[in-house]
Amino acid sequence: MRARGFGDLEAVIMDRIWARPERTTVREVFDELAAEREIAYTTVMSTMDNLHRKGWLERERVGKAYHYWAKLSREEYGARLMREALGAGGQSDLVLAHFVEQMSPEESEGLRAALRKLTRGKRG
Domain extents in the chain: 8-70, 74-122
% of the chain with per-residue pLDDT over 90: 67
**Dist CA 13 CA 72 (whole Å):** 14
Q: Is 71's pLDDT higher than 70?
A: yes
State the alpha helices, DSSP H only, in 26-91.
26-34, 41-53, 74-88
Q: How many CB atoms lie within 10 A of CB 55?
A: 11
| CATH number given to 8-70 | 1.10.10.10
**Dist CA 43 CA 30 (whole Å):** 9
Q: Is 101's pLDDT higher than 80?
A: yes
CB 13 within 8 A of CB 51: yes
- How does pLDDT run across 37-66, given as a tens digit for each residue? 999 999 999 999 999 999 999 999 999 999
Give the type of residue at 94: L
Kindly compute the dihedral angle of the four CA atoms of residues 22, 24, 29, 31, in this order, to the nearest 10 degrees: -90
Closest CA to 70 of 23, 33, 34: 23
Closest CA to 1 of 80, 103, 62: 80
